[in-house]
Amino acid sequence: AEDPRTESLDDILATMAAGCASEGAVEGESFWRIPDRGWAIWFALNMAQPDDILLICGKGHEQSMCFGETEFPWDDLIATETALDAYLAGQPMPDLGLPTYEPDWTI
């Protein structure tokens, strides 16, 4: 997610999932719900195959993410570099400070 603010993150993900499913996508096969943006980037890196392109959209130049009324420091470039380092080392995604992070997250 990017800046859910006061919206329910679960509701946002459910709406996105419903849209995917309505077009024939299957959860766990062609789309996944991943609440933490860092884990989502890490997961996408793990799913990527040779010649794939990983496009990370939504935050760009922004330097924070808002949950509730709190802004948390965030940088997609740093998150992507961190996720790539973890992926290449065979490690899980480290905590980058978002309230959505779960250290033992798995699909």
For every residue of 39-92, which 3-state class applies, written as one string? HHHHHHHHHCCCCCCCCCCCCCCCCEEEECCEEEECCHHHHHHHHHHHHHCCCC
pLDDT of residue 59: 87
How many domains, in total, are found in the chain?
A: 1
76 occurs within a structural domain: yes
pLDDT tens-digit readout, 77-88: 999 999 999 999
- State which residues form the domain around 49: 34-88
47 occurs within a structural domain: yes
What average pLDDT is seen over the chain?
A: 95
71 occurs within a structural domain: yes
45 occurs within a structural domain: yes
94 occurs within a structural domain: no
- The yes-or-no verdict on residue 107 having pLDDT over 80 is no
With bands split at pLDDT 50, 70 and 90, how would you rate the model's confidence at 1? low
pLDDT tens-digit readout, 24-68: 999 999 999 999 999 999 999 999 999 999 999 988 889 999 999
14 occurs within a structural domain: no
